[in-house]
Structure 1
Amino acid sequence: MDKRKIAGSVIAAAISLVAAWEGRSLIAYVDPVGIPTICDGYTHGVKLADVATPERCDALTEQEVRRALTVVDGSTPGQLPDGVRVALASFVYNVGPSAYGGSTLLRKLRAGDLAGACNQLPRWVYAGDKKLRGLELRREAERQICLSGLQ
């Protein structure tokens, strides 16, 4: 299998994972921490009056998943297993590159402790100071996908 096909399948899997957990709204809304959001959790420059088409949402989600995957791939010296890349792309999409960049999860990843990194995901279940059930479920799904990439 060539690298483009592998990369495409990782991106497609990450988009599916993000879409499954973010939920889609074509009309901007305020997320649990007060950030204007549209489509599948897109926040950059969003105003509450914004409206998007499904096609625009698809494009924004793919763009942001690709950015998140680039952050993940650039954060370690070696190639990570695909399951780890998919799970962490979803994670970075959700929490942002800055939170990821300063995380114990990333320190463990860089130290070669991939299972330890995957097992950090369930710690990221708060929005503001509030524990959210949706984040608990999402992080467990990401953790399972992340660990499945190690077998």
Structure 2
Amino acid sequence: MKEFIRKRLVETALAITFGAAGGVATYYAVQQHSDSVVLAMELGSHYESSGRHIGTPYVDKLGKGQPLTVCNGVTGPEVVAGRTYSREDCKRLELPKYIEAERLARAALKNWDAYNVWVRVSLIDMVYNLGPAVLNDTTLVRLGNSGDLVGMCEQMPRWVRGTVNGQSAVLPGLVDRRATTRELCAEWGRDGHFSSGLISEVRP
């Protein structure tokens, strides 16, 4: 995982735990959504656009159908060509999609309540980024439901293909993103950073 995103996730987790003012953690903590959703949004923000697409929609040429997109990967009927979207607009559009991703992951994975926050973040990010297909009787879900956390995490790097000029291709951005979710799931989620809670121990 790149040091920049590692730092962002740690800082956001600390803000959630200790009630630090400002930033995404405070905004969503006030909204009373899960810590996992808050952290997944921070992760997704980095990989989707790092704030570059707040403003007017663009055509996502790496997506199927090249959808009109704005904010951090938001598509659909609420995205209107030529409209300008503020940061608050983006939060309003993104939050329900992350909550739905969490709901779908929880419903598909029977061991959800046993996972720590970092495993949940990795799975929410997968669903938000790839859609519910990642949960449709996939090996990832079967391994998770069999109790094989490590095996489930190791499936994540397989999901790195997108559509370029109508053809399926490995996308470097997805390779990087899946490496991060695998690390969160397998290492932070088991015996790595903050493994026994949101913030219980910070290891060097």
TM-score range, shorter chain: 0.7 to 0.9
Structure 1 residue aligned with 2:100 = 67
Of the structure 1 ranges 116-125 and 7-16, higher mean CA displacement relative to structure 2 is found in 7-16
Does the 8 A contact of 1:30 with 1:48 survive in 2?
no
CA shift, 1:51, in A, is 3.0
Unaligned residue ranges in structure 2 (runs of 5+): 1-16, 18-28, 192-204
Q: Where does 1:30-69 land on structure 2 (aligned, <5 Å)?
A: 30-31=59-60, 32-33=62-63, 34-45=66-77, 46-69=79-102
CA shift, 1:47, in A, is 4.3
Q: 1:117 aligns with which of 146, 152, 160?
A: 152
Counterpart residue type for residue 69 of structure 2: T
TM-score w.r.t. length of structure 2: 0.66
Structure 2 residue aligned with 1:136 = 175
Residues 56-80 of structure 1: per-residue CA shift (max 9 Å, x gap)? 1012222211111111111122312
Q: Which has the higher contact order (CA 8 A, sep 6+)?
A: 1
Structure 1 residue aligned with 2:130 = 95
Residues 19-65 of structure 1: per-residue CA shift (max 9 Å, x gap)? 11111412211211212211100112234434311101012222211
Does the 8 A contact of 1:106 with 1:117 survive in 2?
yes
**Identity level (%):** 30
Once residues 81 and 119 of structure 2 are traced to their aligned partners in structure 1, the CA distance between those partners, rounded to angstroms, is: 34
Once residues 174 and 117 of structure 2 are traced to their aligned partners in structure 1, the CA distance between those partners, rounded to angstroms, is: 22
Structure 2 residue aligned with 1:15 = 41
Matched, 1:107 2:142: yes
Once residues 7 and 56 of structure 1 are traced to their aligned partners in structure 2, the CA distance between those partners, rounded to angstroms, is: 18
CA shift, 1:141, in A, is 0.6
Does the 8 A contact of 2:104 with 2:132 survive in 1?
yes
Once residues 132 and 82 of structure 2 are traced to their aligned partners in structure 1, the CA distance between those partners, rounded to angstroms, is: 27
Once residues 134 and 68 of structure 2 are traced to their aligned partners in structure 1, the CA distance between those partners, rounded to angstroms, is: 19
Once residues 138 and 21 of structure 1 are traced to their aligned partners in structure 2, the CA distance between those partners, rounded to angstroms, is: 7
Once residues 45 and 178 of structure 2 are traced to their aligned partners in structure 1, the CA distance between those partners, rounded to angstroms, is: 14
Structure 2 residue aligned with 1:145 = 184
Q: Which has more radius of gyration?
A: 2
Aligned pair in 2 of structure 1 residues 113, 38: CA closer, same or farther (>3 Å)? same
Unaligned residue ranges in structure 1 (runs of 5+): none
TM-score w.r.t. length of structure 1: 0.88
